[in-house]
Structure 1
Amino acid sequence: MGGTWTDNVFPETELVSGNLRLRAFGAGDVEDVRLACSDEEILRWLPLPRPYDLEAARGWCTDFSHHLRTSGDGIHWAITDRDSGRLLGTIGLKSTDWTAHVSEVGYWVAPWSRRQGVAVGATRTVAGWLLGECGFERLELRAATGNLASQAVAERAGFVREGVLRNAGHVHEGRVDLVAYSVIPADGLGLPKVEARTITD
């Protein structure tokens, strides 16, 4: 891809690495997304609708996640098991700066898929694609200071802790400080080989 986009939009792309397949959301994901996003741990750290009902899940899977890509904000994937196709979580790029070639990664993992390395594997997959094939220069990750699980993902994925952004995030309980992490090509992480396939209409 070489880092050149005429319209500052990521093409719809499927990524495969290890036992994970990252693909666009669809109508078949609605019930699993509803179940996952009704989990208290996810709702604790993400400002999602509460309660998270079928309408919210359907809107995300069939409309909003796709609009975020076509708007130029980033790209969002359903993390699935490569063999079974079961939804394991989500990961996405957001707040993409197309001039500076910088983006931010965020994720959640469904309750039935935790403690299996899903978030770490998916984060490294996205980093490998973005910094490799896409030619980006920096990938950022932010986690609430109280969200120790997300910070552990960042560190296990090889991101460098840069400091604390005061009062920079918000959750249902109010404002929170965020720990800022990043990875750049010069870090030499040995990111995984990613099989990328562009989806065309």
Structure 2
Amino acid sequence: MEPVVLRTERLVLDQPTEADAPSIAEYCRDPLFERWLTTPWPYEPRHAEGFVATLVPLGWTTGTEATWAVRTRDDGPLIGVISYRTLRCDVGFWLGADQRGNGYMREALAAVVQWVFVSGDVPRTDAVTWEAMAGNRDSAAVARAVGFAFTGTAPSSHPVRDGSHVPSWHGVLLRSHDGEQARASWPEETRL
């Protein structure tokens, strides 16, 4: 699979490069990443360098994972990362602390889901899944805003740093989703 660039009204999603590694390393030292994400901790520059030099290109080449840098303009600084993994048809994302609250990740996630459903670049699917550790209301707010339906709390699909599968919130966005029904599916505990 060849990397593709996605554009929205305010964003450019393109492949992260080695020049982005320092920003990734800085953002991934956010204490919220230790709590809510499975990224290495403590996060070091070598992790970011390996991510952009090896993991991102390998995902595109093998067709297993499409990963984008989120930017507010062409050649702008990286403000976050979003990925779509083809094996589980799931998405993962994060946004730098100084960029939160602007609706950027909702916009990026909507663009990625649209690409998954219509591009033909990845195997056809009628559902994209999302999950976050139980309690991660910010991630839930993004998924809910894009139209994902809450499907319950269950062990995480991806192991956390100690190899365990912690309780996680799960959601799905169907190609033929009903937005009103999806919004109503989210329990109060998932809301900000």
Provide the C-alpha distance between the structure 1 equivalents of 2:158 and 2:4, rounded to a whole number of angstroms: 29
Alpha-carbon spacing, 1:124–1:167, altered in 2? closer, same or farther (3 Å): closer
State the Cα distance separating 1:35 from its structure 2 match: 0.4
Query: Matched residue of 1:85: which SS?
Result: coil
Provide the C-alpha distance between the structure 2 equivalents of 1:54 and 1:169, rounded to a whole number of angstroms: 23
Q: Which residue matches 1:165?
A: 154
Asked if the contact 2:25–2:45 (Cα under 8 Å) also holds between the matched residues in 1, the reply is: yes
Moved over 6 A (4+): none
Given the alignment, which residue of 11, 17, 38 partners 1:20? 11
TM-score, normalised to structure 2, is: 0.83
CA deviations 1:126-155 (Å, max 9, x no partner) are 011111223532111111111111111110
Q: Which residue matches 1:176?
A: 166
Q: Within 5 Å, which residues of 2 pair with 1:111-126?
A: 111-126=97-112
Asked if the contact 2:71–2:78 (Cα under 8 Å) also holds between the matched residues in 1, the reply is: yes
Asked if the contact 1:78–1:90 (Cα under 8 Å) also holds between the matched residues in 2, the reply is: yes
Query: Matched residue of 1:165: which SS?
Result: strand
Alpha-carbon spacing, 1:83–1:169, altered in 2? closer, same or farther (3 Å): closer
Supply the AA of the counterpart residue of 2:96: A
Q: Which residue matches 1:5?
A: none
Given the alignment, which residue of 141, 160, 177 partners 1:152? 141
Q: Within 5 Å, which residues of 2 pair with 1:178-193?
A: 178-187=168-177
Asked if the contact 1:77–1:91 (Cα under 8 Å) also holds between the matched residues in 2, the reply is: yes
Alpha-carbon spacing, 1:144–1:39, altered in 2? closer, same or farther (3 Å): same
Structure 2: where are the runs of 5+ without partners? 180-192
Provide the C-alpha distance between the structure 1 equivalents of 2:89 and 2:101, rounded to a whole number of angstroms: 26
State the Cα distance separating 1:42 from its structure 2 match: 1.5
Structure with the largest fraction of strand:
1
Q: Within 5 Å, which residues of 2 pair with 1:70-109?
A: 70-82=61-73, 85-94=76-85, 96-97=86-87, 103-109=89-95
Alignment identity in percent?
26
Alpha-carbon spacing, 1:71–1:83, altered in 2? closer, same or farther (3 Å): closer
Provide the C-alpha distance between the structure 2 equivalents of 1:182 and 1:167, rounded to a whole number of angstroms: 14
Q: Which residue matches 2:185?
A: none
Provide the C-alpha distance between the structure 1 equivalents of 2:65 and 2:151, rounded to a whole number of angstroms: 23
Provide the C-alpha distance between the structure 1 equivalents of 2:178 and 2:8, rounded to a whole number of angstroms: 18
Given the alignment, which residue of 14, 30, 36 partners 2:21? 30
Structure with the largest fraction of helix:
2
Q: Which residue matches 1:133?
A: 119
Alpha-carbon spacing, 1:175–1:188, altered in 2? closer, same or farther (3 Å): closer
Alpha-carbon spacing, 1:55–1:149, altered in 2? closer, same or farther (3 Å): same
| Larger RCO, structures 1/2 (Cα 8 Å, 6+ apart) | 1
CA deviations 1:25-66 (Å, max 9, x no partner) are 111101100100111112211222222111111111122111
Q: Which residue matches 2:48?
A: 57
TM-score, normalised to structure 1, is: 0.79
Supply the AA of the counterpart residue of 2:106: V
Q: Which residue matches 2:2?
A: 11
Q: Which residue matches 2:183?
A: none
